[in-house]
Each structure stands twice: as C-alpha cells, then as structure tokens.
Amino acid sequence: MESFRLRSILVSMGVRRETGGRESPGARRLRLIRMAHGDKPAVWAQRIGLTVTQLSNFENGYPISKNAAITMANRIPGLTTDYILRGVDAGLTVELLRRLERAEKELKSGES
C-alpha cells in the first residue's frame, strides 16, 4: 500500500495520474473492458490478475504499467495490450468490440 509520503512525492513529480484522472483515456478503457465483461471490481481484479487497489488506481487515472497490461491481455481472450495502453482496437475480436460498444453506450447513458 502506498504511503502518504510516497503519494505526495509522486503527485509532486506529476506521476500520480494521467491527464484527466477518471476521465483519462486509459482509465475509461479499463472501465469499459470491465463493464463489457459484466464483473464487479473485486471479481474483475482477481480475474485479470490485479489487486483491487491496483484496478482502482488504474480506473482512477494512474498510468497503466506495461506489465499490468500484458497480464490483463493474457487473461482475457481477444484483449490486446495495444488497446489497453493506446486504445488501438485493430486486434480486438469482433465479440469484444461489440461488448465494448454496449458498455460505451451504458457508460454514456449513466453520465447524462
């Protein structure tokens, strides 16, 4: 667990969050991926090989590490590190793309 001092150092270095926090592209993609699979955060974290804290940090705008992206892509069929890290959907399966589209609509309807 991150100490207050470490968190303060990271914030002062600009490492704490991607631009936009929860609205950063990476955070939004992770929420969409989770929603596309219909899991609660605790279940999803276990399924993709992360702790609940790591998942929460990533969904709240902390930069997603390459190792975490590789772990997630290896555990979820059709998911790629290119999509997780950069939003490139070229390698995603048709089924996953459809699920992500439905999750996007659901997320947008909840934001209104």
Q: Quote the pLDDT of residue 12.
A: 53
What single letter denotes the amino acid at residue 83? Y
Tell me the average pLDDT of the chain: 85
Task: Confirm if 16 and 23 have CB atoms less than 8 A apart.
Answer: no
Give the CATH architecture of domain 19-111.
Orthogonal Bundle (1.10)
Residue-wise pLDDT tens digits, 30-56: 999 999 999 999 999 999 999 999 999
Residues 6+ apart with CB under 8 A from 106: 35
Question: What mean pLDDT comes out for the span 73-92?
Answer: 94
Task: Confirm if 45 and 52 have CB atoms less than 8 A apart.
Answer: yes
pLDDT band (50, 70, 90) for residue 16? very low
If one counts every other C-beta atom within 10 angstroms of the C-beta of residue 51, the result is 12
User: Looking up tokens 């999803």, which residue turns up?
Assistant: 44
pLDDT band (50, 70, 90) for residue 83? very high
Identify which has the larger pLDDT, 18 or 59: 59
